[in-house]
């Protein structure tokens, strides 16, 4: 059986930087699952902007979340 090669077109980088990510994009950026990302949002640990049914996570909030997590004492 011969495997087929699939070519995926590369997207050009956007000239306009993103100011906010969807939950799915933020999950990828943080290397977290979608469920854990929603859990962090529901716990208030990851702040979001809600516009109707759309949930956006500002880029600045993602960095602030990481900064808070770094300084937070963790159990081993």
Would you say residue 37 lies in a domain?
A: yes
Would you say residue 15 lies in a domain?
A: no
Would you say residue 1 lies in a domain?
A: no
Domain that holds residue 51: 20-70
Number of domains in the chain: 1
pLDDT at 16: 87
Would you say residue 56 lies in a domain?
A: yes
Would you say residue 3 lies in a domain?
A: no
Query: 54: Cβ–Cβ under 8 A, 6 or more apart, which residues?
Result: 22
pTM: 0.72
Statement: residue 56 has pLDDT above 90: yes
Mean pLDDT of 24-35: 96
Would you say residue 10 lies in a domain?
A: no
pLDDT at 72: 79
- Per-residue pLDDT band for 8 (boundaries 50, 70, 90) equals low
Would you say residue 75 lies in a domain?
A: no
Would you say residue 2 lies in a domain?
A: no
């Amino acid at each position: 059986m011969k495997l087929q090669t699939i070519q995926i077109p590369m997207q050009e980088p956007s000239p306009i930087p993103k100011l906010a990510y969807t939950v799915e994009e933020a999950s990828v950026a943080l290397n977290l699952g979608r469920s854990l990302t929603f859990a962090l949002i529901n716990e208030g640990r990851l702040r979001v902007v809600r516009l109707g049914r759309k949930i956006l996570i500002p880029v600045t909030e993602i960095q602030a979340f990481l900064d808070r997590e770094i300084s937070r004492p963790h159990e081993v």
